[in-house]
Amino acid sequence: MKLYRCQICGDPYLGSAPPTNCPFCGAAQKYIVLAEDYQDRNDIPDLSSRSRENLKKALELEVNNSGFYLCAAACSPDPVAQAMFKALAKIEAEHAATICKILKIPKPEIKPDDKACQKDPKANFAAAHEREQRAVAFYRQGAADATEDRVCQVFSALVEIESDHIHISETRK
């Protein structure tokens, strides 16, 4: 067994090989490094006001989306859809936690957003699709706006991860 860490969320992973995607934040394998090689890049002394604003907005998006997925998981009668929404809720919560580390603020408590979802998993996947598309568009802008390598790295990783989520919702809505 080897100990790995994700350069995006920082979480540790024990395994015989690096996972294809971070099990916590969904980041691609290229971000998974041996624990010895991990670099904590979350301390950005001169975070620009533009990046700060973008990260705050991203945090809001992630918290909202995670709350939506928690609701969708709780409401879904289908166990497979339930598990899928639970997995997505956890990943979005991890994104929120990662953003909080850069902003140096405590991570907010995320609760199911009972007004955000419906009983029908198909309707929830359709809503998820729109949410993820909005997120990808915004994170692309966040990456383009960023003058800090780390902020650009995080927004770029989020674009990839939420694009994976778009493919999931595309096939299920």
Query: Is 9 or 100 the residue whose CB approaches Fe ion more closely?
Result: 9
Q: Determine the Cα–Cα distance for residues 55 and 91; give it in Å rounded to an integer.
A: 17
Interface with Fe ion, residue 5, by CB under 5 A: no
Residues in contact with Fe ion, shown as a per-residue x/- string from 84 to 113 under the rule CB under 5 A = --------x--x------------------
Interface with Fe ion, residue 165, by CB under 5 A: no
Distance of CA 167 to the CA centre of its chain: 15
Q: Determine the Cα–Cα distance for residues 76 and 52; give it in Å rounded to an integer.
A: 36
Q: Residue from 8, 72, 93, 143 that binds Fe ion (CB under 5 A)?
A: 8
147 by Cβ neighbours in 10 Å (0-12 / 13-18 / 19+) ranks as exposed
Interface with Fe ion, residue 27, by CB under 5 A: yes
Q: Which stretch binds Fe ion (CB under 5 A): 5-13, 51-59, 78-86, 139-147?
A: 5-13
Q: Reading across the β-sheet that carries 32-34, which strands appear in turn?
A: 12-15, 2-6, 32-34
Instruction: Work out how close the CB of 124 gets to Fe ion at its nearest, in angstroms, rounded to a whole number.
Output: 16
* Residue whose structure tokens are 């299920």: 172
Q: Exposure pattern of 132-144 as b/e (b: 16+ CB <10 Å)?
A: beebbebbbebbe
Query: Is 27 or 116 the residue whose CB approaches Fe ion more closely?
Result: 27
Interface with Fe ion, residue 155, by CB under 5 A: no
Which residues fall within 8 angstroms of residue 47, CB to CB, at 6 or more apart? Answer: 55, 102, 148, 151
Do 6 and 97 meet the contact criterion of CB atoms below 8 Å apart?
Answer: no
Instruction: Work out how close the CB of 100 gets to Fe ion at its nearest, in angstroms, rounded to a whole number.
Output: 13
For Fe ion, the binding residues in 119-148 under the rule CB under 5 A are: none
Using CB under 5 A as the binding criterion, the count of chain residues that bind Fe ion stands at 10
Q: Residue from 4, 5, 25, 90 that binds Fe ion (CB under 5 A)?
A: 25
Q: Residue from 9, 89, 128, 159 that binds Fe ion (CB under 5 A)?
A: 9
